């Protein structure tokens, strides 16, 4: 997945636009974009959207995820009761505080999968891992916490509220506390063997700024980016897709080591490459699948 697009679950028109976009995944949001009085209607709408997606699958359409409300809210049980039987691709967990929260959610999902006749582990988990100051100290606990983990994302908006920060960006770029959270989330994801997803770029009209931020995120090792508007999806996809030259070089490195599996260092394109380059090549090629 490269682009992960949020859509409020209680707004059918926005869901339809999201599903028609280029996004690799659409998150039906039950949390921040839904008012407390609309939670019940949003759950029902999300369940219906998931059921329809299974009944009328779109060729090449996005995967469907659901952002539930946090584990410490009174909404979580009803959220999972509504959407888990409809087998979303994954649950996005907001306000995640570490591997313990993932394990807690995994147990809740396992019960509902069993009750619904789904395979154990059918529903994945993507934590939003930096939404509180305390969560940064628990980022190392995601590794090995659950086989359901399919990625790790970071977010700046709720973190700003938790810190009481006046802003999280200056001149369009994250300030130092938020860059620290971003970098720590990247390290945590890679350390856990997971794809890392960059935070949303909130000004959906600034496509130049979005391209710049995508390029920086991909340069640093992120695999994709969260989005809040359908117009952002295609730009994100393009930015995080390996270029033809990059893919061709990765294939040459992989082929060279396949032909000499006992080698530690080889020459490819006139340059010396080692096992670290092979790991890079495999990562690039995995994004071509």
pLDDT tens digits for 19-71? 999 999 999 999 999 999 999 999 999 999 999 999 888 777 899 999 999 99
- Of 129, 132, 77, give the one whose Cα is nearest residue 105: 77
Q: Which long-range contacts (CB under 8 A, 24 or more apart) does 159-162 make?
A: 159/130, 159/131, 159/132, 159/133, 162/131, 162/132, 162/133
Assign domain 3-240 to its CATH architecture. Alpha-Beta Barrel (3.20)
**Maximal CA-CA distance, the chain:** 64
Q: Strands 152-153 and 124-127, how do they pair?
A: unpaired
Predicted confidence band of residue 174 (pLDDT cuts 50, 70, 90)? very high
Q: In whole angstroms, give the CA distance from residue 114 to residue 87.
A: 12
Question: How much is the pTM?
Answer: 0.89
Domain ranges of the chain: 3-240, 244-286
pLDDT higher than threshold 80 for residue 283: no
Sorted by sequence, the CB contacts under 8 Å of residue 188 that are 6+ apart come out as 129, 139, 140, 142, 143, 152
Q: Residue 278 pLDDT more than 60?
A: yes
Q: Is the pLDDT assigned to residue 107 strictly greater than 80?
A: yes
């Amino acid at each position: 997945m490269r682009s992960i697009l949020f859509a409020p679950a209680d707004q059918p028109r926005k869901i339809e636009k999201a599903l028609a976009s280029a996004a690799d995944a659409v998150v039906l949001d039950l949390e921040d974009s839904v008012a407390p009085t609309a939670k019940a209607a949003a759950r029902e709408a999300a369940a219906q959207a998931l059921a329809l997606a299974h009944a009328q699958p779109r060729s090449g359409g996005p995967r469907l995820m659901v952002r539930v409300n946090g584990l410490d809210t009174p909404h979580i049980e009803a959220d999972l009761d509504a959407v888990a039987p409809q087998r979303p691709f994954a649950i996005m967990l907001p306000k995640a505080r570490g591997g313990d929260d993932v394990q807690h959610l995994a147990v809740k999902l396992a019960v509902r999968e069993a009750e619904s006749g789904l395979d154990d582990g059918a529903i994945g988990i993507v934590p939003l891992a930096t939404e509180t100051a305390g969560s940064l100290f628990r980022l190392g606990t995601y590794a090995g916490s659950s086989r359901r983990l399919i990625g790790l994302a970071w977010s700046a908006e709720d973190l700003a509220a938790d810190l009481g920060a006046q802003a999280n960006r200056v001149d369009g770029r994250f300030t130092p506390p938020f860059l620290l959270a971003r970098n720590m989330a990247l390290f945590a994801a890679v350390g856990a063997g997971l794809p890392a997803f960059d935070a949303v770029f909130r000004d959906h009209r600034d496509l130049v700024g979005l391209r710049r931020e995508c390029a920086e995120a991909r340069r640093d090792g992120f695999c994709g980016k969260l989005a809040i508007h359908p117009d952002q999806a295609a730009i994100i996809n393009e930015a995080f897709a390996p270029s033809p030259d990059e893919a061709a070089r990765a294939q040459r490195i992989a082929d060279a080591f396949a032909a000499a599996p006992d080698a530690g260092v080889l020459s490819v394109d006139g340059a010396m490459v080692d096992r670290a380059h092979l790991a890079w090549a495999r990562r690039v090629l995995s994004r071509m699948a």
